[in-house]
Structure 1
Amino acid sequence: MYQQDFNPTGSLALSALLASLPLLALLVTLGVFKWRAHWAGALSLGISVVIAIAAYHMPIGQTLDAGVFGAALSVLAILWITFNAIWIYNLTVKTGHFAVLRRAFAAISDDRRIQSIVIAFSFGALIESLAGGGSPIAICAVMLIAIGFSPLKAAAVALVANTAPVAFGGLGNPITIMGQVTELPAEQFGAMAGRQVAVLAVLVPFVLVGIVDGWKGVREVWPAALTAGLSFGVAQFAFANFVNYKLCDIFASLVSAGAVILLNRLWKPKAGSVAARPVVAGGATDDPAFTRRVGSPDGDSCADVFLAFAPYAVVVVLFSLAQIPVIAGVLNAPTITFDWPGLDITGPTGKAVSVAYKLNWLSATGTLLFLSGVVTALILRITPLTALRTYWETLRQFGWAIVTILLVFALSYVMNLSGQISTLGLWLAGTGAFFAFISPVVGWFGVAVTGTDAGSNALFGKLQITAAQQLHASPILFGAANTSGGVMAKMISPQNLAIGTAAVGEVGAEGVLFRRVFGWSLLFLLAMCLLVFLQSTPVLGWMRVG
């Protein structure tokens, strides 16, 4: 048995310094030395293992087993989701229907900056709301390449755009997890998070336009950016507070896309704006994303467009059906839950630390996406052999990104189960009333390590509530702050960097991509810290839930 000690050195500051070394190594190797993500992840994992054994006195066997446990969790939580999401996309490319989808988005506007808002921000939010797991980054990045973006710029835009919907991604999974971990009403966490990330959502489209075309672009298309951000934020706030937090991103994404389309009928940027790459009518390029292989050379018919959007409509329908209690019960029936063998860990008080592995193979998000892919293949009349070959090509496409995801999840669970994560949280909680400002940073670190907002809430949810009780503050505010702060780290987490570079064919350039988005991550985080701090004071206290 291993009993955690959150202050193994006797000095909380020194213990926190040791616990932070794996995270610092990860950030420095990616951001400063521009290492490949799998090497950065391997080094950070090695450092965390040494610290767990030497400083925290965790048995070698349990330390290594904790890493294996984390890697195993990533298979269903990340890899199974991402593989199937990209498989669906690759099926549409294989048949030429992705080119139709691209032309449908191009028809909204001939301005590439506005297209980036609709694709990366609105459409990406829809994918995040249904699947998450990095799938919107991969799909939207490739769509942006199809309208003329360079690979790394496309990945950067997709990563930054993925900020706004993450708190409610996967049908509100991060909020649901926070409720389960803290045993407080998830609906209240959802409502409070809606009063935080909705403010952030207004800003994101402006940043996207700035990445695409600088300050000049912001000046020229600010009405579209404001329309997208404001409509998304208002819808997200309304659904999170008054309807159902699980559905808020679905409707917010549709509302924002519709608002931009309506605006484009009434207003257009001035002449000379950034135009999109022209639609390719034939074999002018070998890129299947551009080539017209479906439909008439004179234009896409309504049937063509319907089939192009059909895969995503299938995803919406299947995920909606899976929420019906009777169907959900059937899908959850074969779920197997067991304690991971070899791990026997207790907290400082002697309470057992959960090491449960939930094998929900039928109800898992990735399985629903796989079924969506099967239905997509049937609708698009793809033969089973072609579908299988495309799946194999999808697996090969990720390459080292798979290793990166396994390593970083192993890192997160070595740090978590050894007590390193809790050490950092306790040290931050020692800042007193200023913890309201720091609270989002805890969630930010959690997502930077795990790659998911749900994972960060699972790691730090209890810590946030404990800190709130010690400070006589609102536990709902701090729990929501963990969720809202975490969304800014999605763009810099090694898993998502690996997914982004794999999707655009730039595996190995994770360090370069990290440098492009890290500043935006910090800027958004600072804004969220300030907002949460003001919400803890009489200045914006009226925004608190409960």
Structure 2
Amino acid sequence: MYVQQLEPVADSLALSALVAALPLATVLILLGALRMKAHRAGVIGLAVAVLVGWLVFGMPLGQTLSAGAQGALFGLFPIMWIVVNALWVYRMTVRTQHFDILRRSFGRLSDDPRIQALVIAFCFGALLEALAGFGAPVAICSVMLVALGFSPVKAAVVSLVANTAPVAFGAMGTPVVTLAQVTDLPLDTVASVVGRQTPLLALVVPLVLVWLVDGRRGLRETWAPALACGVAFAAAQFLAANYVSAQLADIGAALAGAAALVAVPSARRPAAEPVRAAVLTGVRSEDLDREDPRPEVLRAYAPYALIVVIFSIAQIPPVKETLARATRVFDWPFLDAADPDGNRVGANVFSLPLVATGGTLVLLAGLFTVVVLGVRAGDAAREWAATVYELRYAILTVTSVLALAYVMNLSGQAGTIGHFVAAAGAGLAFLSPILGWFGVAVSGSDTSANALFGALQVTAAAQSGLSPELLAAANSSGGVLGKMISPQNLTIACAAVGLAGKEGDLLRKVLPWSLALLLVMCLIVLGQSTAVLGWMLP
């Protein structure tokens, strides 16, 4: 049995923490300073983590490699299994041109560009984040807004800022699932706390969006539908995260927000021509006025309805229990590790949810989508293979980052850093969202940031007397605000709207909003760590 050490370097916690931070520092410097591709930085960071765990912390090489292999497998299944199948469903709607029908349907909901921004960037963007994440909402929503006549810059900025509140529960809850896995905290508990933080962002973001689209006039004239949308989104996300399922949080929130938005009478009024002329400075797509047959419109919405129905059925207790029977739990080979107190770590046992996982349920929805959209079996298979190929670098990034996280957690590197960081005491509650924000800003992924810093947050919380669940959740909730300034997302937005090389311009426009909302989240978490807002926690 390997027993973790807290102070392997000269019996000094500070020096040991400095050495333990080398893998994280390597990844952050390669990504942030040297602008290396994320998949390469992840692999190099993993190599550094293995060397530090083996040579400095004394974890046997075989166990160190086994820990990395377990993290890589978790990255493949269930994490990327969800993403691949979700993007496969989207690709089939594009192949059959039903995505264009969906875009035209959204355009007919309102001719007011401020309302269109809420429907597409906030509500539909949240649905895309729920199904796929990893940059897909920013790319798709930016293109849709440009087609409606938005200028490329405005479309990109609106899409980036909108992609905040739903991120923690994106890709069928992948970030919180990862957070629970690397911290050994119950998923329901982690999701519940995150569901009492990010909904507060949802109250503000729609108001920010109408300000971005049309300034003070937009806020004055459309605050009611924006607020209704935000309240409905926040309420649904809170209820789903706390009482239904983390995997359904964003889907329910997106649908509730859209329903509330169109229910407000002022959202359906035609926009005044001065508003349209001032806001829509781009070229409107010529096919927006085409009338689509009602059956085809229903088929365009069908893939998303199928996912909602299948996930809802999967949450029915008897069905949930039946699906869980296919889960395989086994001892992970060549790994026998214990914490400094001699207690075996949870990663010695691995759980493989073959059916009761989001990716398999999305795959099932995709098979029904093949039938509903009339896609031939061969074409559907080729689209699935093309999706895997398109995501090859993302797959390598996620697997390498999770392998790095597992090596750091199981060798004791994360624990050493956590004990050192705990010196911040009560101030740690204010700083914890910043760590998540920084991780996402650099890596472009809330999942990756949770894998990197989740265990560290929990260790630091335990040492400083704070709630581990609170700081773990704060890592994810603060991380969502770094998404809009991550180089990955900025590049995706620029590529989608034809602004290649203009990432710096977009960064200057979204950075103030990222920092302002981060400050709000820091104050929320700080309040939740005291009696001021402590009543909000479960």
Distance of aligned partners of 1:46 and 1:504 in 2 relative to their CA distance in 1, 3 Å threshold: farther
Quote how far apart the aligned CAs of 1:480 are: 4.4
1:183 and 1:335 mapped to 2: Cα distance? Answer: 18
The residue that corresponds to 1:141 in the other structure is: 139
Distance of aligned partners of 1:366 and 1:339 in 2 relative to their CA distance in 1, 3 Å threshold: same
The residue that corresponds to 1:531 in the other structure is: 524
Greater CA drift, 64-73 or 120-129: 120-129
Give a deviation string over 1:384-422, Cα, whole Å, max 9, x none. 111112222222222423322222222222222222222
Answering whether residue 277 of structure 2 is matched by residue 272 of structure 1, we say yes
Report the AA paired with residue 409 of structure 2. N
2:357 and 2:463 mapped to 1: Cα distance? Answer: 37
Distance of aligned partners of 1:512 and 1:252 in 2 relative to their CA distance in 1, 3 Å threshold: same
Answering whether residue 6 of structure 2 is matched by residue 6 of structure 1, we say yes
The residue that corresponds to 1:28 in the other structure is: 29
Query: Is contact 1:411-1:449 (8 Å) kept?
Result: no
Answering whether residue 292 of structure 2 is matched by residue 300 of structure 1, we say yes
Query: Is contact 1:120-1:158 (8 Å) kept?
Result: yes
Greater CA drift, 303-312 or 50-59: 50-59
Quote how far apart the aligned CAs of 1:207 are: 5.0
Give a deviation string over 1:474-505, Cα, whole Å, max 9, x none. 566445434533444556789x8599689959
Answering whether residue 477 of structure 2 is matched by residue 456 of structure 1, we say no
The residue that corresponds to 2:533 in the other structure is: 541
Aligned residue runs from structure 1 range 75-114, under 5 A = 75-110=76-111, 114=115
Q: Percent identity?
A: 43
1:347 and 1:359 mapped to 2: Cα distance? Answer: 24
Query: Is contact 2:402-2:451 (8 Å) kept?
Result: no
The residue that corresponds to 2:261 in the other structure is: 260
Q: Report how many aligned residue pairs link the two structures.
A: 524
Query: Is contact 1:142-1:503 (8 Å) kept?
Result: no
Quote how far apart the aligned CAs of 1:365 are: 1.1
Report the AA paired with residue 435 of structure 1. L
Report the AA paired with residue 324 of structure 2. N
The residue that corresponds to 1:47 in the other structure is: 48
Quote how far apart the aligned CAs of 1:311 are: 0.6
SS of the residue aligned with 1:6? coil
Query: Is contact 1:425-1:460 (8 Å) kept?
Result: no
Quote how far apart the aligned CAs of 1:473 are: 5.0
The residue that corresponds to 1:420 in the other structure is: 413
1:480 and 1:97 mapped to 2: Cα distance? Answer: 37
Report the AA paired with residue 311 of structure 2. F
User: When the two structures are superposed, what TM-score results if normalisation uses the length of structure 1?
Assistant: 0.80
Query: Is contact 2:163-2:483 (8 Å) kept?
Result: yes
Answering whether residue 325 of structure 2 is matched by residue 333 of structure 1, we say yes
Give a deviation string over 1:199-228, Cα, whole Å, max 9, x none. 222233355567778899778866654443
Distance of aligned partners of 1:308 and 1:514 in 2 relative to their CA distance in 1, 3 Å threshold: same
SS of the residue aligned with 1:430? helix
1:25 and 1:177 mapped to 2: Cα distance? Answer: 22
Distance of aligned partners of 1:349 and 1:179 in 2 relative to their CA distance in 1, 3 Å threshold: same
SS of the residue aligned with 2:109? coil
SS of the residue aligned with 1:337? strand
2:138 and 2:199 mapped to 1: Cα distance? Answer: 21
Report the AA paired with residue 77 of structure 2. L
The residue that corresponds to 2:67 in the other structure is: 66
2:214 and 2:58 mapped to 1: Cα distance? Answer: 52
Report the AA paired with residue 320 of structure 2. A
Distance of aligned partners of 1:34 and 1:445 in 2 relative to their CA distance in 1, 3 Å threshold: closer
Note the residue ranges of structure 1 that are not aligned, 5 or more in a row. 282-289, 291-296
1:189 and 1:413 mapped to 2: Cα distance? Answer: 19
User: When the two structures are superposed, what TM-score results if normalisation uses the length of structure 2?
Assistant: 0.81
2:111 and 2:455 mapped to 1: Cα distance? Answer: 45
The residue that corresponds to 1:310 in the other structure is: 302
1:478 and 1:44 mapped to 2: Cα distance? Answer: 24
SS of the residue aligned with 1:272? helix
1:40 and 1:52 mapped to 2: Cα distance? Answer: 18
Quote how far apart the aligned CAs of 1:299 are: 0.6
Query: Is contact 1:89-1:139 (8 Å) kept?
Result: no
Report the AA paired with residue 14 of structure 2. A
Query: Is contact 1:30-1:510 (8 Å) kept?
Result: no
Quote how far apart the aligned CAs of 1:341 are: 1.8
1:337 and 1:500 mapped to 2: Cα distance? Answer: 38
Distance of aligned partners of 1:467 and 1:17 in 2 relative to their CA distance in 1, 3 Å threshold: closer
Quote how far apart the aligned CAs of 1:81 are: 1.1
1:401 and 1:300 mapped to 2: Cα distance? Answer: 36
2:153 and 2:400 mapped to 1: Cα distance? Answer: 23
Greater CA drift, 368-377 or 160-169: 160-169
Give a deviation string over 1:261-297, Cα, whole Å, max 9, x none. 334214746232433753444xxxxxxxx9xxxxxx8
Report the AA paired with residue 276 of structure 2. A
The residue that corresponds to 1:287 in the other structure is: none
**1:398 aligned to 381, 391, 395, which one?**
391
SS of the residue aligned with 2:342? coil
More helix per residue: 2
Query: Is contact 1:335-1:359 (8 Å) kept?
Result: yes
Give a deviation string over 1:334-381, Cα, whole Å, max 9, x none. 222223222221111111122333222222211111111111010111
SS of the residue aligned with 1:431? helix
